[in-house]
Amino acid sequence: MHVVDRRQNPKAKSLGNRQRFLRRVKSHMRKAFADSIRQRKIADLEGGQEVSISSKDLHEPTFHHDRNVGHRDYVLPGNHEYRPGDQIEKPSGGAGSGSGGSADGDGEDSFVFALTREEFLDLFFEDLELPNLAKRKLKSMDSPAWVRAGYSTDGSPQRLNKRETMRRSLARRIALGRPKLAEVEALQAELQQAQTAGDADEIARLRKLIDAQQTRMRAVPYLETVDLRYSRIQRVPKPTTQAVMFCLMDTSASMTEQLKDMAKRFYMLLHLFLKRHYKAVELVFIRHTYTAQEVDEQTFFHGRETGGTVVSSALEEMLKIVKQRYPVEDWNIYAAQASDGHNFDHDMPQTLRLLEQEILPICQYYAYIEVNDDQWPGDSVLWHGYYPLTARHANFAQAEVATAGEIFPVFHDLFDGKLRSGSNTN
């Protein structure tokens, strides 16, 4: 008898099966997402997701009898008082039959299972992309890729490849007939024996032999410079497109906690999306009231601040940062602005001028999201002011989010690679 401890074996043995399963239900899952995502909070993204999908494509048919026709007999356990000839009420739903053609185990209409967070996000962000991601500049980022590139005959000592070196050394030693150390030692032992025995002829013969061997050993060294091989490692510049995403958020007093919450959710999604798909995308968080300031991620999502609303302040801050750190010729620039649509009237001309003349020309894509609980779209100052821009600038889009449930679909629309591919006119 053997006891084998299999606990250390790879666990996810049916991973391949799961991938095939997910592949099969992908189209269904997309539909299920649209429904289930509506009730979802961003925080939910942290955990795995339970999805329910129609089991039509998952059904595995078998030949079995129709339960609604024909005659059946079966034996049941636990009779109490029935006598032959008694009539029993038929159980509803077909329960209680010990036999009959109930061979199918999966008659359910929908199939519920849990997705891991990774799987969920993969599916959710599938097909989404940053629009107009032009290759502004191919520049080797600070992480060039090092790749192995065979062997070289010289290099630094730490790159010495011992296996390759020894292979060549061995081949050379065999080819040139270098005597083995053990052979010479054996001869010397024989010599010693001959010496104690006093056999002069033998001594002379052995001496001569040993001499020849040793000369050869000196002539053919164990390791020679020609044997040395070094692993060659090549630095390959990895072309990366640089992009920066500006997140502009209005945190003024008119933005209620609820609206801020919605805006933050939108950005969280954006954040998640960019982090996942673009390693080289930098994020800049700017929040504004009547003044604007660049903040870190933590403050952006969790900080509290109130005041009046001057949108242009944020745009100015953005321009300032672009000038300082993100030269337009080197960077793809994106911006997403979230606001409740309020702005001081006197600031509007300045805002529109900045946006249209300075920001949109340098942006690959600018999305404006209006978070809004009760108003009609187009009612707010910003929406109204921005509206004409949508027609004039293909790289400008605006959308409105009134309930948390709309965040996902709106986000999807804004970054849907397929939808947007036609508007690549930058």
Partner 1 sequence: MNKRHGGLLYSGSQWDFKLLHRVYDAVEEIALGELGLDVYPNQIEVITSEQMLDAYAAIGMPLLYRHWSFGKRFAREELLYRKGAQSLAYELVINSQPCVSYVMEENTMTMQTLVIAHAAFGHNHFFKNNHLFRQWTRADRVLDELAYAKSYIAGCEQRYGLGEVESLLDSAHALMSHGVNRYATRRRSPREQQARSEARRQHLESTYNDLWRTVPTEPSDTTEVKTAEQDENDIEAAALDLPEENLLTFLANHAPKLKDWQREVLRIVRTLAQYFYPQRQTKMMNEGCATFVHYEIMNRLYHRGQIDEGSMLEFLHMHSAVVAQPNFDSRGFGGINPYALGYAMVRDIARICDDPDDEDRQWFPEIAGKGRSLETIRDAWEHYRDESFILQFLSPRLIREMRLFKVSDDANDEHMTVTAIHDESGYREVRRQLAAQYDISKQEPDIQISDANLKGNRRLVLTHRVRDGKLLEKSEANRILRHLAKLWGYRVRMVEVDAETKRPLSEYDAVSMP
Shortest gap between Cβ of 122 and partner 1 (angstroms)?
A: 16
Token digits for 313?
């302040």
**Alpha-carbon 164 to chain mean position:** 37
97 binds partner 1 (CB under 8 A): yes
218 binds partner 1 (CB under 8 A): no
Task: Collapse the DSSP code of 366 into the 3-class scheme (helix H, G, I; strand E, B; otherwise coil) and give the result.
Answer: strand
Site for partner 1 in 55-84 (CB under 8 A): 58-80, 82-84
98 binds partner 1 (CB under 8 A): yes
DSSP letter (8 states) at residue 67: T
Nearer Cβ to partner 1 (5/142): 5
Shortest gap between Cβ of 371 and partner 1 (angstroms)?
A: 36
Bridge partners, 146 (sequence order): 235
Alpha-carbon distance of 116 to 47, in angstroms, equals 7
Each as own residue / partner, the long-range contacts of residues 206-211 (CB below 8 Å, 24 or more positions apart, any chain) are 210/184
Instruction: List C-alpha distances in Å: 120 to 24, 29, 57.
Output: 15, 10, 20
Residue carrying structure tokens 């009760």: 374
- The one among 50, 118, 224, 373 contacting partner 1 by CB under 8 A: 50
- Region from 111-119, 164-172, 287-295, 369-377 binding partner 1, contact rule CB under 8 A: 111-119
Shortest gap between Cβ of 103 and partner 1 (angstroms)?
A: 7
Site for partner 1 in 274-313 (CB under 8 A): none
216 binds partner 1 (CB under 8 A): no
- Region from 107-115, 178-186, 225-233, 291-299 binding partner 1, contact rule CB under 8 A: 107-115
- The one among 34, 35, 47, 112 contacting partner 1 by CB under 8 A: 112
CA–CA–CA angle 13, 14, 15 (5° rounding): 95
Shortest gap between Cβ of 85 and partner 1 (angstroms)?
A: 7
162 binds partner 1 (CB under 8 A): no
Q: Which string of b and e fits 135-165 if b means at least 16 CB within 10 Å?
A: ebeeeeeeeeeeeeeebeeebeeeeebeebb
Nearer Cβ to partner 1 (1/174): 1
Say if CB 244 and CB 334 are below 8 A apart.
yes
- The one among 26, 27, 35, 104 contacting partner 1 by CB under 8 A: 104
Helix (H) or strand (E) holding 274: helix 257-277
Token digits for 213?
């061997």
Shortest gap between Cβ of 113 and partner 1 (angstroms)?
A: 4
Say if CB 123 and CB 26 are below 8 A apart.
yes
3 binds partner 1 (CB under 8 A): yes
18 binds partner 1 (CB under 8 A): yes
Residues that bind partner 1 (CB under 8 A): 1-7, 9, 11-14, 16-24, 50, 58-80, 82-90, 95-101, 103-104, 111-114
